[in-house]
Amino acid sequence: MSKRDFYEVLGVSRDADEAAIKKAYRKLAMKHHPDRNEGNAKSEELFKEAKQAYEVLTDPNKRAAYDQYGHAGVDASSGGGGGAQGFGDAFGDIFGDIFGGRGGRSNVHRGSDLRYNLEISLEQAANGSETKIRIPTMDACDKCHGSGAKSGTSPKTCPTCNGHGQVRMQQGFFSIQQTCPKCQGNGKIITDPCNVCHGAGRIKRHKTLTVKIPEGVDDGDRIRISGEGEAGVNGGPSGDLYVVIHLSSHSVFQRDSDNLHCEIPISYSVAALGGVIEVPTLEGHAKIKIPSETQTGKIFRLRGKGVKGVRSHRKGDLLCHVIIETPVKLTARQKELLEELEEISQKDGSRHSPRAKSWMDKARDFFSD
């Protein structure tokens, strides 16, 4: 063992942390590695010296003994060794971060999330409801309980990677880790697979679930059902199920956030003379007073007759859009009365049809220009 101070060998202070020690060692290892300095005995000696210092100062117990007793505290435990493997160990941390860590990649995986598109009516969305859905999924095999091994047996530790899921490959002075080709990173191999799932640990099946639809959901909202996605791999947790809401078209209402819209046809006489009409709501019926001389396109707002959204504190409104309906299939008497009305109206058109008079004036000015 070198008798030089290990902190001096690496060029770090005595209170340097592990990251600083590793950085210093990597720099020296790159500079003095035997593969880069073939036949240079001095570089080989410096490399071994740096490796000894690194091994002691990155081990908390050895470092504590060295700080208290110097070389005497670690002579029996540190040892030499040198060679290309020490250089690979230093850089194993770098490649380990990229390929999943020096301890091997975990073979336990969370199951995939699932999506289910659910079409519901406006009434179901407004009032909330329950419905059953049937979904295809990958579930844990009942026969082997997800292990993939035949009943009475169990997976064996992979002899190639010793259960780590990764193997170390040495090429020159680089040492990297890669997925074990024998077990595909699982760390275990199944010698006698389950005769139901054939070693997969999961089987495809359909399951029926009850979905609670909260009051006020809207088109595009998602309902998350925890743990009802696909089963995990090798005992990993199951994924989640996301139920995506789609509202079917309604014969009367159109939804706009928490508000509802509908068109209300009224007769020519009601529009002119006024009256009271009955309109539908999600809760039944309501009455609207139509003032005389109402024009088409007029909007009447019924407050609180809309939908209470999931994140709302109160219900929205119902907006009724008036459409004046032109009478059809007129009788002879009806035609006679309308012709008489038209004749009377023509005598003082500006009084009875102010919008038409204004429009005609604008049109006349346009063509005059």
Average pLDDT, integer, range 96-103: 40
List the domain range (segments joined by +) for residue 114. Answer: 107-146+202-248
pLDDT at 47 (0 to 100): 87
Q: Which residue has the tokens 């696909």?
A: 230
Q: Which of 225, 248, 271 is the last residue of a domain?
A: 248
pLDDT at 181 (0 to 100): 80
Residues 267, 242 within the same domain = no
Residue 185 located in a structural domain: no
Q: What's the number of domains the chain is made of?
A: 3
Residues 121, 241 within the same domain = yes
Residues 140, 218 within the same domain = yes
Residue 3 phi, psi dihedral angles, 5° rounding: -95, 0
pLDDT at 317 (0 to 100): 95
Residue 78 has pLDDT above 80, yes or no: no
Residue 273 located in a structural domain: yes
How crowded is the C-beta side of 108, counted as CA atoms within 13 Å?
4
CATH code assigned at 45: 1.10.287.110
Residues 350, 301 within the same domain = yes
Average pLDDT, integer, range 106-113: 74
pLDDT at 355 (0 to 100): 66
Tens digit of each residue's pLDDT (9 = 90 or more) over 291-345: 998 888 899 999 999 999 888 889 999 999 999 988 888 899 988 988 888 887 7
CATH code assigned at 317: 2.60.260.20
Q: Which residue has the tokens 């081990």?
A: 59
**CA dihedral angle for residue 119, residue 122, residue 123, residue 125, rounded to 10 degrees:** 70
**CA dihedral angle for residue 35, residue 38, residue 40, residue 41, rounded to 10 degrees:** 70
DSSP secondary structure of 130-154? EEEEEEEEEEE-TTTTTS-BPTT--
Residue 225 located in a structural domain: yes
Residue 30 has pLDDT above 70, yes or no: yes
Residue 48 located in a structural domain: yes
Residue 316 located in a structural domain: yes
pLDDT at 352 (0 to 100): 61
Residue 153 located in a structural domain: no
> Letter for the amino acid at 161?
C
Spatial CA neighbour of 252 closest among 287, 276, 281: 281
- Give the pLDDT band (50/70/90) at residue 87: very low
Residue 103 has pLDDT above 50, yes or no: no
pLDDT at 38 (0 to 100): 77
pLDDT at 333 (0 to 100): 92
pLDDT at 15 (0 to 100): 86
Instruction: Give the whole-angstrom CA distance, residue 227 versus residue 318.
Output: 39
Q: Which of 67, 82, 99 is the last residue of a domain?
A: 99
Residues 129, 10 within the same domain = no
Residues 354, 301 within the same domain = yes
Tens digit of each residue's pLDDT (9 = 90 or more) over 40-60: 888 888 888 888 889 888 888
Residue 49 phi, psi dihedral angles, 5° rounding: -65, -45
Residues 218, 332 within the same domain = no
Residues 86, 123 within the same domain = no
Residue 171 has pLDDT above 70, yes or no: no
Residues 349, 259 within the same domain = yes
Spatial CA neighbour of 120 closest among 260, 255, 246, 309: 246
pLDDT at 94 (0 to 100): 40
C-alpha separations of 302 from 43, 254, 320 in Å: 90, 15, 8
DSSP secondary structure of 107-126? --BPPPPEEEEEEE-HHHHH
Residue 88 has pLDDT above 80, yes or no: no
Residue 347 located in a structural domain: yes
CB 111 within 8 A of CB 238: yes
Average pLDDT, integer, range 165-190: 74
Residues 23, 43 within the same domain = yes
Residue 52 located in a structural domain: yes
Residues 92, 130 within the same domain = no
Residues 329, 298 within the same domain = yes
Instruction: Give the whole-angstrom CA distance, residue 217 versus residue 69.
Output: 71
Q: Which of 64, 82, 99 is the last residue of a domain?
A: 99
Average pLDDT, integer, range 72-77: 63
Q: What is the mean pLDDT of the chain?
A: 80
Query: Taking the chain, what is the end-to-end CA distance rounded to the nearest angstrom?
Result: 107
